[in-house]
Structure 1
Amino acid sequence: MIREYQPADLDKIMEIWLQANQQAHNFINPEFFKQNYELVKMLIPMSTLYVQDLNGVKGFIGLTENYISGLFVDHKFHHKGSGKALIEKAKQRHNELFVHVYRKNTDAINFYLSQNFNIVSESINEETNEDEVLMCCHVERKVKIGLCAL
């Protein structure tokens, strides 16, 4: 079930955030994420957050308007549809989505490509000095009129 964030979710979200960042970004010094932990913990509730709750939080997506500020899934739930379900929730709320992904994080790039995102630009992340790509997805809506879909 995808639901809105509740303050009681914060500790589990932060646990997933730290573990997932260190696992997916093994090309960045793990101390970077530890040093930013408290700042992220303070900023996360400022985003619009949705969590996947399957007898506990298994993943979450953070949105700042139509920008995906974070999408993280507990490693035990990778490749089980959690990320896709969270993206679908975001697509229900926005006509266009953007996300930055580190170029070396090919699993994430491939995931977003599978969700109809395209790479629109490349840059260097100022904090980590790592190459990253900006990805975008235009959400197509089907308009239903009676029994017909346009």
Structure 2
Amino acid sequence: MIREFQSTDLDKVMSIWLEANLQAHDFIDPEFFKQNFQLVKMLIPMSTVYVQDLNGVKGFIGLTENYISGLFVEQAYQRQGTGKALVNKAKQRFNELLVHVYEKNTAAIDFYLAQNFEIVSKSLNEETQEAELLMRCVVEHKVKIGQCAL
């Protein structure tokens, strides 16, 4: 079940955030994520966050307007539709989604391409000095008389 973030989810969300970042970004010094942990913990409640709750939080998506500021899933639940379901939740809210993905994170790039994102541009992340791609998805909402559907 996808639901809105609750303050009681914060510790689990942060655990997933740290574990998934360390797993997906082995090309970045782990200290970078550890040093940013408290800042992210403070920012999470200020964002729009949805969690995948399957007898406990297994993944989450954080949004700042239509920008995906984070999408993280527990390793044991990856490649099982959790990430896709969370992106679809965001697609219900916005006509366009944007996300930055490190160029070396090919699994994430492939995931977003499969969700109909396209690569818009490439830049250098100033904090990590790693190349990242800006990806964009335009959501087409099909409108039927009396209802709205994706």
Unaligned runs of at least 5 residues, structure 1:
none
Q: Tell me the equivalent position of 2:70.
A: 70
What is the identity percentage for the equivalent residue pairs of Structure 1 and Structure 2?
A: 74
- The letter of the residue matching 1:114 is A
Provide the rounded CA distance (Å) in 1 between the counterparts of 2:143 and 2:38.
44
Provide the rounded CA distance (Å) in 2 between the counterparts of 1:146 and 1:82.
30
Q: Tell me the equivalent position of 1:40.
A: 40
Query: Which string of whole-angstrom CA distances, capped at 9 and with x for unpartnered residues, describes residues 37-78 of structure 1?
Result: 001100111110000000000000000000000000000000
Provide the rounded CA distance (Å) in 2 between the counterparts of 1:39 and 1:144.
43
Q: Tell me the equivalent position of 2:126.
A: 126
Q: Tell me the equivalent position of 2:58.
A: 58
Unaligned runs of at least 5 residues, structure 2:
none
CA gap of 1:126–1:53, structure 2 versus 1, over 3 A, is same
Provide the rounded CA distance (Å) in 2 between the counterparts of 1:28 and 1:95.
32
Provide the rounded CA distance (Å) in 1 between the counterparts of 2:36 and 2:17.
11
Query: Which string of whole-angstrom CA distances, capped at 9 and with x for unpartnered residues, describes residues 63-102 of structure 1?
Result: 0000000000000000100000000000000000000000
Question: How large is the Cα RMSD of the aligned pairs?
Answer: 1.3
How big is the shift at 1:143? 1.0
Partner secondary structure for residue 3 of structure 1:
strand
Q: Tell me the equivalent position of 2:140.
A: 140
Query: Which string of whole-angstrom CA distances, capped at 9 and with x for unpartnered residues, describes residues 91-127 of structure 1?
Result: 0000000000000000000000000000000000010
- The letter of the residue matching 1:109 is I
TM-score w.r.t. length of structure 2: 0.96
Provide the rounded CA distance (Å) in 2 between the counterparts of 1:92 and 1:75.
25
Provide the rounded CA distance (Å) in 1 between the counterparts of 2:35 and 2:146.
55
TM-score w.r.t. length of structure 1: 0.96
Provide the rounded CA distance (Å) in 2 between the counterparts of 1:134 and 1:21.
18
Query: Which string of whole-angstrom CA distances, capped at 9 and with x for unpartnered residues, describes residues 5-48 of structure 1?
Result: 00000000000000000000000000110011001100111110
1:89 matches 2:89: yes
Partner secondary structure for residue 55 of structure 1:
coil
CA gap of 1:116–1:16, structure 2 versus 1, over 3 A, is same
